[in-house]
Structure 1
Amino acid sequence: MKLNGSEIIVECLKEQNVDTIFGYPGGAILNVYDALYKHSDEITHILTSHEQGASHAADGYARATGKVGVCFATSGPGATNLVTGIATAYMDSIPVVAITCNVTVPLLGKDSFQEIDIAGVTMPITKHNFIVKDVTKLADVIRAAFRIAKEGRPGPVLIDVTKDVTAAECDYIKETPKAIERQTDTIKEEDVERAVEMIKASKRPYVFVGGGVIASDASDELARFVKKIDAPVADSLMGKGAFDGTDPHYTGMLGMHGTKTSNFGVSECDLLIAIGARFSDRVTGNANKFAKNAKILHFDIDAAEINKNIHSDASVVGDALEILKRVNAKLEQQDRHEWLEHIHDYEKQYPMAYRKDCLNGPLIMEKIYELTKGEAIISTDVGQHQMWAAQHYKYKKPRTLLTSGGLGTMGYGLGAAIGAKVGCKDKTVINIAGDGCFRMNMNEVATATRYNIPVIEIIFNNHVLGMVRQWQDLFYGKRYSATVLDDCVDFVKVSEGMGAKGYRVQTIEEFEAALKDAMALNIPCVIDCLIDREDKVFPMVSPGAAISEAFDRKDLDRMNSEK
């Protein structure tokens, strides 16, 4: 049948079983929105308050559901407003398809109104991007974009369509998407054999889990692997929930704000098995001192990650689920109770301690865990609150922590929470924000109330840019340059002005009552939690130090007393 480009876009989205789009219309993309209007019973469109909110919502939808997230924007500033969200998805390997429209082909390259080379702008931060100037190629490009976003190491894809293409007509033939095959051709039998031999020979193995395990849906196979080799497990921020955070083998996050148990244990292990992790600088600390007693065995789908940041003694390249299946099939049950007991001694010696006599981040996160029974989806912005959310909420399942790990995007969480709630309507979805982050995209509260998307926004309000101030306090002589937020902004009034229910709390008892009420109301709610600006995230590894040099509050007090 003959359709115009806008109708082809909608039909191709239906082919891909897209049920939700997050976006913001404008002149160049008007034809597409007109076509979308006719299919509003099949595809829900969420009008965000800002295009950045749309890209974060698509990202959060993708992380929470495992599907491809989709966002729309018009040309010029509409397209450029997506850039931070696209980069966020790129750094964390999240499958998102962003569709923008541009000026007509004759106006390209002439500095036309709201013209921008968005394909050029996003080239470094997309897995692939397209500009479509011929309507006969449009359907194939959209199908390719979804395939590219999902296959191998996932990532965002941008499609820029000129406005004349959205109006031009051509024949459209519906196609059923082909199943995405897991990447197995790179898994070599000799690599698997070598991995198995290294594991068998190890006396003190440690498993380090990253976001690749979640992307490949390999959590169950990972659990079997860990039980077979009887080893402790640490994770990255992106790997939270890939392995059950309540399992006795789990020792907490690794790296700058990881547990002392994980940092010390990895520093002592003789074999570090990294699965779907990229050895970020936030994980390794001083790379020259990282896991110096260990051989490194690296499983990853992206060959470019092997030896990029940390040298590997052996590796297997391919889909994490398929690698683990093949390794598990060759392993017999092992017993390393002495090594595990040694690690458990570290857990007893170095518990995650914090004050319980006042409202603070760790106490709030533990109360959230208690009231949600650990079954909520938690999204975060970036900063101290993000680290407290990672440290003090036990993530038992994958896709339950949504956070900007690679780019560190302040303002990410609320949009992501909206996307997650739209995709997982039966889940309690809570965003953890700092007051600095909330200021960046608080306008998305209006999106939540417009559609009655019952997300709960919890603000850790210390009236400072907490993590930056923490660094200024510890490493910059307490020179608090541009990090104090003492002003007259009332987050409760602002939130209520956008239609949400607002709470302000100063004690854990008030917080518990507010959260219970918010969960029962099932409407958009904002809880403003007043906490002490002197609170810090511990443990911590100083920049340039080894992770074995992690210090906590007691260590800091001792070091200060010795000066």
Structure 2
Amino acid sequence: MSEQKYGADIVVNSLVNHGVDLVFGIPGAKIDRLFEALEHPSLGQKVPKLIVTRHEQNAAFMAQAFARITGKTGVVIATSGPGVGNLVTGLMTASAESDAVVAIGGQVPRKDLYRLTHQSTNSVALFSPITNFSSEIQDPNNISEILANAFSAANGVKRGAAFVSLPQDIDDAPVDIEALEQVPAAKQGAAAITDLDWLAEQIKQAKLPVLLVGARASDDQSVAALHTLLDQVNLPVVETFQGAGVIPRELEETAFFGRIGLFRNQTGDKLLQQSDLVITLGYDAIEYEPRNWNKENNLNIVALDTFPVQIDNNFVPQRQLVGDIAQSISLLTSRIAGYQLPEVSQGILRALKADLKLSDEPKYTPAEGNLNHPLSVIKSIQAHVTDDMTVSTDIGSHYIWMARHFKSYVARHFLISNGMQTLGVGLPWSLTAAMVRPNVKSVSVSGDGGFFFSAMELETAVRLNLNTVHIVWNDNAHYDMVKFQEELKYDGASAGVDFGNIDLVKYAESFGAKGLRVNTPAELDAVLDEAFATQGPVVVDIPVDYSHNYELASQLIESEG
């Protein structure tokens, strides 16, 4: 006689059928059978590996990083009430930043859904505005089909989060059905041939066409197609922060002209202002608002993406080319082969390349002898990071410096939250990178404020013996990204930005991780040498001089409104 199956078994089998090999989460009474099925499978039953975290928000961040790094679907599971409530920030971030995540949340039994019962909440309504899909399972026979539709929605033309509410009695229900097999994803073709022919002619007639590459063009296929294009046609490229790494080392000198985001004063901003044709590839307005990079509303824009763009006053493309980005780029390549920039434009690019290189050099001496200049810290990190390592940056002043100046030559190896700009992502993202890329170090960079949003996950890193280096830019207990921008706005005054100091070395050691501190700038390289030579989790405390942050917002091009 076959062993009795329950709703939880159908959930697990559905995950397996959708290729899920890793799930993140925290259990609770309303969803405990699902966790039992994951940790104690029936004989011969295949299950994804469960990673138990210390906070549901961090579990969602880890699932998001899994999606971004692998191109697969990240999965997170939490219990009812506050468990699913703690997923909100992570799922909101995943949807904003086009990362495919399926969240399964526990729920009270169906008979208690509309009673004032312990942990009863309308979680479907909670997640509807911030996900691609939000539904509650009402019949055990519908478990697999609802999960299948959640996976489909998360992996649509604009990827994002999907949420499925699993009432306790559905989780516990005896079933005699089988989980559905995965339905092959619907595939897009290239953009319309007539539009590609038209764009090819626009490029040939342009004097300085520029490619602005965003998050949705950073997948492996699109990046490979872009490299083929740039091997044949010398076009300048500007990356958004989430498009970081689309230009490899061998194309850096000819094609890479920096990243743009936040303050409008970068080399890439200057290039866009001189371009007579800006082609956006997989660019989402949330990455860097058009009202900043096209403030004067005078740029000639064409958008190439997987779905129509959101039109606004500063983003009205001449034409939209909608379809598979990689296929569209490949067809475009054959149509513009032989195009060369005019000599005048090549001179403009040489000047801008010199400007880009100059921006990476420290120009000021730190205010105090024991502090490190941000660019010196980046230079040392750069010297220790290989191209196959993953670097995850949190949000804070360090994020602006890193996004502008840290070089990455492989797409999706420099992870940045530039949609929601979510504080606390750095450490959880790096843990996932260490799991899925176990043969190399995983590096995260955070401020002393953001680090403690998720620092409890050091225990997870130690428990799993993850090969991670967590670099904390310590500015002596401030939320500095807020602080310096408030000071710019309010004549040097700031509010609500101070907190207490925590000894980072002792904190790390209390978890069983290694803690290191850079006591003087002269020690920086040696301390990072030790950190990168250490097996297992390491936390490095680097006192940083943020007195130069005002430079980040200086010399704006027609300063932002």
Q: Taking structure 2 as the reference length, what is the TM-score of the superposition?
A: 0.92
- Pairwise CA RMSD: 2.3
Aligned to 1:354: 362
* Equivalent position SS for 2:76: strand
Question: Which range moved further: 147-156 or 126-135?
Answer: 147-156
CA deviation vs aligned residue, 1:495-521 (integer Å, no higher than 9, x gap)? 211221111113344232222222222
Tell me, which stretches of 5 or more residues in structure 2 are unaligned? 367-371
CA deviation vs aligned residue, 1:72-119 (integer Å, no higher than 9, x gap)? 100000000010000110110101111111000000011210111111
The counterpart of 1:205, out of the listed 201, 209, 229, is 209
Change (3 A) 1:499 1:481: same
The counterpart of 2:142, out of the listed 134, 137, 140, is 137
Tell me, which stretches of 5 or more residues in structure 1 are unaligned? 551-563
Aligned to 1:502: 515
The counterpart of 1:13, out of the listed 15, 19, 44, is 15
* Equivalent position SS for 2:221: coil
Contact 2:434–2:440 (CA<8 Å) still a contact in 1?
Answer: yes
Q: Distance in 2 between matches of 1:281 and 1:92?
A: 8
Question: Which range moved further: 192-201 or 354-363?
Answer: 354-363
Contact 2:297–2:314 (CA<8 Å) still a contact in 1?
Answer: no
Aligned to 2:173: 168
The counterpart of 1:368, out of the listed 372, 377, 381, is 381
Change (3 A) 1:452 1:354: same
* Equivalent position SS for 2:218: helix
**TM superposition shift of 1:133:** 1.3
Q: Distance in 1 between matches of 2:246 and 2:74?
A: 21
Change (3 A) 1:87 1:26: same
Contact 1:231–1:340 (CA<8 Å) still a contact in 2?
Answer: no
Question: Which letter does structure 1 place at the counterpart of 2:268?
Answer: S
CA deviation vs aligned residue, 1:148-172 (integer Å, no higher than 9, x gap)? 2223221111111111001112233
Q: Taking structure 1 as the reference length, what is the TM-score of the superposition?
A: 0.91
The counterpart of 1:528, out of the listed 526, 538, 541, is 541
Question: Which range moved further: 28-37 or 335-344?
Answer: 335-344
Aligned to 1:50: 55
Question: Which letter does structure 2 place at the counterpart of 1:445?
Answer: L
Matched, 1:219 2:223: yes
Contact 2:259–2:266 (CA<8 Å) still a contact in 1?
Answer: no
Q: Distance in 1 between matches of 2:418 and 2:501?
A: 31
CA deviation vs aligned residue, 1:229-262 (integer Å, no higher than 9, x gap)? 4221101111111223634310101243466321
The counterpart of 2:498, out of the listed 484, 487, 502, is 484
Aligned to 1:474: 488
Aligned to 2:86: 81
**TM superposition shift of 1:540:** 3.0
The counterpart of 1:28, out of the listed 5, 27, 30, is 30
* Equivalent position SS for 1:289: coil
Matched, 1:279 2:293: no
* Equivalent position SS for 1:161: strand
The counterpart of 1:437, out of the listed 450, 454, 457, is 450
* Equivalent position SS for 2:515: strand
The counterpart of 2:326, out of the listed 302, 318, 321, is 321
The counterpart of 2:420, out of the listed 387, 404, 407, is 407
Aligned to 1:254: 260
Contact 2:216–2:283 (CA<8 Å) still a contact in 1?
Answer: yes
The counterpart of 1:391, out of the listed 389, 404, 418, is 404
Q: Distance in 2 between matches of 1:173 and 1:28?
A: 23
Contact 2:242–2:287 (CA<8 Å) still a contact in 1?
Answer: no
* Equivalent position SS for 1:45: strand
Q: Distance in 2 between matches of 1:496 and 1:98?
A: 33
Change (3 A) 1:362 1:284: farther
Question: Which letter does structure 2 place at the counterpart of 1:279?
Answer: A
Matched, 1:447 2:453: no
Aligned length: 544
Aligned to 1:333: 338
Q: Distance in 2 between matches of 1:440 and 1:535?
A: 25
Question: Which range moved further: 506-515 or 234-243?
Answer: 506-515
**TM superposition shift of 1:276:** 0.5
CA deviation vs aligned residue, 1:322-380 (integer Å, no higher than 9, x gap)? 21122123222211162133122123246213247551222212211111234321111
**TM superposition shift of 1:455:** 1.6
Question: Which range moved further: 327-336 or 337-346?
Answer: 337-346
Change (3 A) 1:174 1:165: closer
Change (3 A) 1:498 1:535: farther
Q: Distance in 2 between matches of 1:469 and 1:406?
A: 21
* Equivalent position SS for 2:254: coil
**TM superposition shift of 1:430:** 0.6
Question: Which range moved further: 33-42 or 472-481?
Answer: 33-42
Q: Distance in 2 between matches of 1:222 and 1:291?
A: 27
Identity over aligned residues, as a percent? 27
Question: Which range moved further: 42-51 or 91-100?
Answer: 42-51
Contact 1:263–1:548 (CA<8 Å) still a contact in 2?
Answer: no
Q: Distance in 2 between matches of 1:209 and 1:287?
A: 13
* Equivalent position SS for 1:63: helix
* Equivalent position SS for 2:449: helix
* Equivalent position SS for 1:443: helix
**TM superposition shift of 1:62:** 1.4
Alignment of 1:113-152 (within 5 A): 113-152=118-157
Contact 1:230–1:337 (CA<8 Å) still a contact in 2?
Answer: no
Question: Which range moved further: 330-339 or 413-422?
Answer: 330-339
**TM superposition shift of 1:274:** 0.6
Q: Distance in 1 between matches of 2:309 and 2:266?
A: 30
Change (3 A) 1:3 1:247: farther
Q: Distance in 1 between matches of 2:282 and 2:554?
A: 23
Q: Distance in 1 between matches of 2:425 and 2:248?
A: 25
